[in-house]
Amino acid sequence: MQTLYPEVKVAPPGPNARVIIEQDRRYASPSYIKEYPLVIERGEGPWVYDVDGNRFLDFMAGIAVTSTGHSHPQVVRAIRDASERFLHICGTDFYYDVFSRLCERLAGYLPEMGPKKVFLTNSGTEAVEGALKLARYHTRRPYVIAFKGGFHGRSYGALSLNSSKVTQRAFFGPLLPGVIHVPYANPYRCARGCPPNACEPSCNAAHALEKDWFVNHVDPREVAAIFVEPILGEGGYVVPPASFLQELRRICDQHGILLVFDEIQSGIGRTGRMFAAEHFGVMPDILLSAKGIASGMPLGAIIAREDVMTWPRGSHGSTYGGNPLCCAAALATLDVVEGMLEEVRATGELLQEGLRGLQRLHPVIGDVRGVGLMVGAEFVQPGTREPAATYVAELEQLAFQKGLLLLSCGKSTIRFAPPLVVRRHEVEVMLHILGECMDVLDARHPEVRT
């Protein structure tokens, strides 16, 4: 296999990119974020080529989506073959092979959950939205619990569960009533200011629920579900201790509450297991998937225990959900990802080791954490846990200029979520560029040197 390096021949945005950016600025909604002026022309594996001929190494995978890399030949072939047969018939109303095959395939993961049924959606948000409806329908209870720092999507139900960035919610209210937010277990950054890995029992979510919410505010018999990301994504790539999820399972069992794992970002091999739940030994009642499931084609899934997915015919549906091209892409993606899990774990370890090496040289890196290829490095003012947000913003831009695609999350964390096909050499190249960028930024920011 050819050894590639990033190549920036024209400082981005180059002349071709500028034309497209101008057009976009003129006509596209101002709500889009546009992290940096990347204008993609094509991609291959973990490499992205822009419209001015620059080559970038992709460590963000279109927000943890292109699991099999850009345009994986097996996935492209599956989409092409499916598109030559038919583009649409509507899986809600009729039958087709790839739809039912994908449902069967997804129902087969996490066998400890028992028999399952699957509802296919167009996005992660829709999977969350559908799960909210299902939880209320099945339990006939109005309340739901979610977590501070959590992110679940942009429509009203999903948005109401969010608590990671105020801009996502500002002036959109009133949101869905009956959502209770409790603290997520963040071993590095406790909301009450405990030192890393030294939280008091009263800092945990179980305590907040059992000693406060269920005593003073809401009867647990009125709570339909707890929605939780087993590894926090947009909120900062935070890996909680297993006891956090185990406690949630215990509370759910005790009160007949449904445990919903939003694995939209952490699922489909991202952590070196098909689903992050496998790392914690805790099984949900409802599992949500999207993002990496179809390598970039719009698809999501609600995978629920059979005895939970009790909603009747006509109660929920979707015109496009489970589109044949997306189902074909998903089946091919799952074939590829299932064969890569061991490699993902090994590459992820190399990545974390490398980041820890950089942490020793650059005290601005406060914490390195993650599982598999879902890795975060949190940047802080050295000696404190004050977010180094400006440093991170500049790092993202500088890395881009040097041909490396990064994406932040939380207040000041860089998430490393490359396509799962990334190889050791590419991890080493990424670490080298990151180190170079940090040398430049450390010189620019004397406050981060000790």
- Positions that interact with ligand PLP (CB under 6 A): 63, 123-125, 128, 151-153, 229, 233-234, 262, 264-265, 290
CA separation, residue 440 to residues 391, 428, 433, 444 (Å): 11, 19, 11, 6
- How far apart are the C-alpha atoms of 30 and 390, rounded to whole Å? 22
Alpha helices in 34-155 (DSSP H): 61-64, 73-85, 97-107, 124-139
Please report the DSSP string for 16-44 in residue order.
Answer: HHHHHHHHHHHHS-TT----S---EEEEE
User: Tokens for 164?
Assistant: 């990671």
Please, what is the minimum distance in Å from the beta carbon of residue 380 to ligand PLP? 23
**Residue pair 143/106 in contact by the 8 Å Cβ criterion:** no
Q: Please, which residue, 14 or 370, has the CB nearer to ligand PLP?
A: 370
Of 38 and 288, the one with the shorter C-beta distance to ligand PLP is 288
Q: Which is nearer to ligand PLP, 14 or 230 (CB)?
A: 230
Closest distance of CB 122 from ligand PLP, Å: 8
Sign, Cα dihedral of 230, 356, 55, 4: negative
Q: Please identify, using beta-carbon distances, which residue of 199 and 302 lies nearer to ligand PLP.
A: 302
Q: How far is the CB of 262 from ligand PLP (least distance, A)?
A: 5
Nearest residue (beta carbon) to ligand PLP: 124
Taking the complex as a whole, the smallest distance from the CB of residue 119 to ligand PLP amounts, in Å, to 15
| CA–CA gap between residue 396 and residue 67 (Å, rounded) | 21
Nearest to ligand PLP of 110, 238 (CB atom): 238
Nearest distance in Å: CB 228, ligand PLP: 10
Name residue, tokens 């069992």.
253
Q: How far apart are CA 61 and CA 72, in angstroms?
A: 13
Cβ nearer to ligand PLP, comparing 175 with 358 = 175
CB of 128 to ligand PLP, least distance (A): 6
